[in-house]
Amino acid sequence: MKKNNTLKVLLIAILATFLLTWILPIAYYNNGIMGGFGEFLNLDYRYPAGIFDILGYPLIILTYYFMHPTLFVLAVGAFYGVFEKTGAYRKVVDKIAKIFKGKEIIFFATVIAVLATIVAFCGFSYELIFVLPLLASIILVMGHDRITAATTLIGSIAVGFVGSLFAKPITGVYIESLGTSYTDLLWFRLAILIIGIALLTFNVVWRLKKDKIKKDDEGKELIAEKYELKSRKGKKRAIWPAIVIFDLVLVLMILGAIDFSGAFGVSIFETFNTNVMNFKAWGYPIFANLIGTSQMFSGAIGTWTVTDFTMFLVLATIVLAIIYRIKPNDIFEGYKEGAKKFALPALLIFLAYLVLVLSVNHPFVLTLLRPLMEITNGFNALTLSLSSFIASVFYVDVNYAASNFLPYVMSVIQDTSVYPLVEFIMQAMQGLALLIAPTSIVLLGVISYLKVSYKDWVKNIWKFFLELLLIAIATFIIIIVFKVV
């Protein structure tokens, strides 16, 4: 495996963003927050980031939401470190690899379809790094390489993002601002989701048949080690408790992220949560005090966030250690080794948010995008697509793309009848950016864990990126030509 250059590429992206704060004057769309209303302000002065800004912004990342993904990734590493010590991890890997050996098409088609669908309903991106070690181990044991593992996971997330159906962190973010709904262009988003799944499966299977894996690229250090834990009576411990715990964490993550109320009008979980938290025994709010304050727990199923998922992982790690009676020293060792494997991914995800902080605190992005957006009057699918893609590179997170770029888009495109397509285009471009943008936290986390260089990744993924892009553009054209909106 060639030397990993992903960190270098990210540092170049940070440097480029830093230099742009010196080159471009600041601009923002004033929607009333800073005085005035509905006004694009392209100011004549620059607001460059200084050395102390660069040194101080990591503190902002530490104290805001941006730190949560980093902690989640480290929690994933710790979970797998203990999971490996149980001995069940490697047994599960071997069993699954044996079942699907020679049935790669079924395996990859199933995995890609499931993961992409999860993203389409839940809006997961980096959260699916939870399945990365297990998925990578299975693929490597089956005799395939790291890039195949990376393509499977990152590609699935991107496809689910582009074809997001009811995901509140993706589609929901845009429809809240645009006044559209989940059902707008639903069949077109479903179509691109299905086509994307088929296209990714074809690309992965084609790679398996075409490329030969080099001896030095087997990734043995990423495969779970074999451990044998026995009970006091000398019997081998069953693997089913570990499987149940793993599945339970994944199911809780999925259920916790589905927007039951907003997307499907199901309020039963919110009602249940309210009743539980208000329940009192002899005047004492037992469950409210037992679960904790609302600041640390999101509440009803369907509203859970990465903070909740991180706590689930910590609890699952503790339960695994107790059930399998792992010695304290082994727990600590497993925790340390697991977190160590995810140290670089966590660092890269942390640094990627520095690009976002620079872009928001030194608002040059609209200066960059305005000439492109205003080439034509009103709505233009091509210019909006390109502008949305560029915005995704700088803003990293959907919420910030929506809050910093979308208000300006709405000022340029005042025809509300095309807003469903505007939402579709913006989510699709954000999903496509996940595949190749050097600031994509999904991309950075996965390829750094798998020790795949950014250069090798781009050489592998560019064809699928272009294929998915063309499918997306073709879908936009069909919607426009047939005047669906």
**Minimum mean pLDDT among 230-234, 318-322, 345-349, 478-482: which range?**
230-234
Q: Which two tokens stand for residue 267?
A: 């309020």
Q: Which two tokens stand for residue 233?
A: 């009576």
Cα distances from 433 to residues 234, 324, 429, in angstroms, run: 53, 42, 6
pLDDT in tens, 49-81: 988 888 888 888 877 767 888 999 999 999 999
Per-residue b or e along 351-372, where b marks 16 or more CB atoms closer than 10 Å to that residue's CB:
bbbbbbbbbbebbbbbbbbbee
Q: Which two tokens stand for residue 448?
A: 């750094």
Q: Which two tokens stand for residue 77?
A: 């590493």
Residues 141 and 93: beta-carbon distance below 8 Å: yes
Judged by DSSP in three states, 274 sits in helix
Q: Which two tokens stand for residue 305?
A: 């966030």
Alpha carbon distance 198, 190 (integer Å): 13
Nearest C-alpha neighbor of 402 from the set 68, 178, 159: 178
Nearest C-alpha neighbor of 448 from the set 123, 16, 146: 146
- Report pLDDT for 36: 43
The pLDDT confidence band at residue 215, using thresholds 50, 70 and 90, is very low
Whether residue 214 is predicted with pLDDT greater than 60 in this model: the reply is no
Whether residue 300 is predicted with pLDDT greater than 50 in this model: the reply is yes
Q: Between 57 and 245, whose confidence is greater?
A: 245
The count of residues in the chain is: 485
What's the predicted TM-score (pTM) here? Answer: 0.93
Helix 343-361 with 6-23: angle, nearest 10 deg? 10
- Provide the mean pLDDT of the chain: 87
pLDDT in tens, 129-177: 999 999 999 999 998 999 999 999 999 999 999 999 999 999 999 999 8
The domains of the chain are located at 6-259+302-481, 265-301
Judged by DSSP in three states, 291 sits in helix
**Minimum mean pLDDT among 320-334, 421-435, 462-476: which range?**
320-334
Mean pLDDT of 326-336: 82
Which residue carries 């069949």 as its tokens? 187
Give the highest mean pLDDT range of 49-53, 304-308, 434-438: 434-438
DSSP-derived secondary structure letter, 232? T
Q: Between 45 and 433, whose confidence is greater?
A: 433
Cα distances from 118 to residues 157, 251, 254, 454, in angstroms, run: 9, 10, 7, 26
Cβ atoms < 10 Å from Cβ of 461? 22
Residues 165 and 120: beta-carbon distance below 8 Å: yes
Which residue carries 């079924």 as its tokens? 106
**228 bridge partner residues:** none
Whether residue 268 is predicted with pLDDT greater than 80 in this model: the reply is yes
Segment holding 298, helix H or strand E: none
**Minimum mean pLDDT among 110-119, 326-335, 375-384: which range?**
326-335
Q: Between 220 and 454, whose confidence is greater?
A: 454
